[in-house]
C-alpha cells in the first residue's frame, strides 16, 4: 500500500484533524469513526515507519481521539482510552522514532533544523499567546528566552527559583552533564518586574505548563506569522533564538557557552547560527 500526503508542517488545528482523519479513511476504508478498529488503525501506520517522525504519527492518534469525542455518544467504548492500546501505541512510537533517526543518520531523510525565536519573533510569540488567552505561556516563553532555559527547567520553576535583586536570575538545578545536586544561578535580563509579580505565587510558577501545549502554541504562531516553513518550531527554539541574538550583539562563543551552560563549543556555535 502506498501512503502519500502525510506532509505536516501545520500544528494541531481543526483543519489538521480533518486532514488526518480523511487520510485514515482513505487508507482504511472506514466511513465513520465507529468503523475504525485498533488493528485497522495500526496497519497503515506501519508504512510510515522509517519515513515519518514520531510526532507526525502521534497526529493520527490525536485525530482519532478527536473524532471519537465528537462523533461517539457518551459512554460508548473508545478503544484509544484502553490501557492496552496506550501501551502498544507508546511502544510503536518509540520504534517509529528510532527508525526515523536511523534514516536521518544514514542520509535517507534530511534532518529538520530548528528555527530560532530571536527577539522580534519572541515579541510576536508573546503577543500571540496573550491574544489566545495563554498569558502564562507568554511569560514562560519570555523567561525561557531571557535565561536560555530548557522546557523541563521552565516547568519546575517556583518562587524559590527566581530572584529580582540585585538582578534578575533563575536558579537551575542539575541539568545536562551536571552532577547531581548541582545548582547554578543564571541571568535573566529584563525579567526584574516579571519576577516581582511571579514571586507572589505559591507552588509552581506555571502549574499548567505542558511541553505539548507549548509546542502547539509556538507552531500555531509560526503559521500565523508566516515564519520559515522549512524549519521546526518548538520550545527549544527560544533557547536557540537567545543564543543567536547574543552572537549578533557581539558576544563570544565562550560567553554564549557560559550563558547557555553548554560544554561543547560546536553545540553553542550551532545554536548561535539561527535566523
pLDDT tens digit sequence for 225-273: 999 987 889 999 999 999 999 999 999 999 999 999 988 888 899 889 8
Residues 136-187: tens digit of each pLDDT: 999 999 999 999 999 989 999 999 999 999 999 999 987 655 666 778 999 9
Q: Is 114 helix (H, G, I), strand (E, B) or coil?
A: strand
The mean-pLDDT minimum among 63-67, 108-112, 115-119, 163-167 falls in 108-112
Rounded-to-integer distance, Cα 208 and Cα 213, Å: 9
Statement to judge: residues 245 and 168 lie in one domain: yes
Q: Give 109's DSSP letter.
A: S
Q: Give 188's DSSP letter.
A: -
Is 208 part of a structural domain of the chain? Answer: yes
Q: How far is Cα of residue 180 from the mean position of the Cα atoms in its chain? A: 26
Is 114 part of a structural domain of the chain? Answer: no
pLDDT for the residue 176: 58
Statement to judge: residues 98 and 124 lie in one domain: no
The greatest distance separating any two alpha carbons of the chain, rounded to the nearest whole angstrom, comes to: 64
Statement to judge: residues 172 and 42 lie in one domain: no
What domain range is 100 assigned to? Answer: 14-105
For the chain, strand residue ranges (E) read 162-163, 169-173, 183-187
pLDDT for the residue 139: 98
Last residue of a domain, one of 105, 132, 147: 105
Instruction: Give the predicted TM-score (pTM) of the model.
Output: 0.66
Query: What is the pairing mode between strands 162-163 and 183-187?
Result: unpaired
Statement to judge: residues 130 and 229 lie in one domain: yes
Edge-to-edge strand order for the sheet containing 183-187? 162-163, 169-173, 183-187
Check: CB of residue 147 under 8 Å from CB of residue 188: yes
Q: Is 187 helix (H, G, I), strand (E, B) or coil?
A: strand
Cell readout for 263 is 560544554
Is 6 part of a structural domain of the chain? Answer: no
Element counts in the chain: helices (H) and strands (E)? 12, 3
Statement to judge: residues 41 and 134 lie in one domain: no
Amino acid at each position: 500500500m502506498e501512503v502519500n500526503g502525510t506532509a505536516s508542517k501545520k500544528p494541531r488545528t481543526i483543519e489538521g484533524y480533518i486532514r488526518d482523519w480523511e487520510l485514515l479513511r482513505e487508507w482504511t476504508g472506514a466511513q465513520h469513526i465507529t468503523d475504525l478498529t485498533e488493528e485497522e488503525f495500526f496497519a497503515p501506520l506501519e508504512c510510515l515507519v522509517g519515513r515519518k517522525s514520531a510526532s507526525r504519527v502521534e497526529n493520527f492518534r490525536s485525530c482519532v481521539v478527536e473524532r471519537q469525542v465528537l462523533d461517539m455518544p457518551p459512554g460508548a467504548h473508545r478503544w484509544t482510552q484502553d490501557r492496552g492500546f496506550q501501551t502498544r501505541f507508546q511502544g510503536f512510537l518509540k520504534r517509529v522514532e528510532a527508525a526515523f533517526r536511523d534514516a536521518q543518520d544514514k542520509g535517507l531523510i534530511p534532518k529538520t533544523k530548528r528555527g530560532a525565536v530571536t527577539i522580534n519573533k519572541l515579541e510576536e510569540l508573546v503577543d500571540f499567546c496573550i491574544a489566545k488567552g495563554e498569558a502564562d505561556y507568554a511569560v514562560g516563553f519570555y523567561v525561557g528566552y531571557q535565561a536560555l532555559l530548557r522546557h523541563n527547567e521552565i516547568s519546575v520553576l517556583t518562587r524559590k527559583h527566581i530572584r529580582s535583586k540585585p538582578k534578575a536570575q533563575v536558579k537551575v538545578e542539575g541539568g545536562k552533564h551536571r552532577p547531581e545536586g548541582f545548582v547554578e544561578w543564571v541571568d535573566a535580563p529584563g525579567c526584574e518586574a516579571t519576577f516581582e509579580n511571579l514571586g507572589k505565587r505559591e507552588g509552581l510558577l506555571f502549574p499548567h505548563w505542558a511541553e505539548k501545549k507549548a509546542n502547539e502554541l509556538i507552531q500555531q504562531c509560526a503559521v500565523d506569522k508566516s515564519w520559515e516553513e522549512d524549519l521546526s518550531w518548538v520550545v527549544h527554539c527560544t533557547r536557540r533564538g537567545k543564543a543567536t541574538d547574543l552572537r549578533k550583539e557581539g558576544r563570544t562563543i565562550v560567553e554564549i557557552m557560559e550563558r547557555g551552560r553548554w560544554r561543547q563549543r560546536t553545540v553553542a556555535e550551532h545554536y548561535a547560527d539561527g535566523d
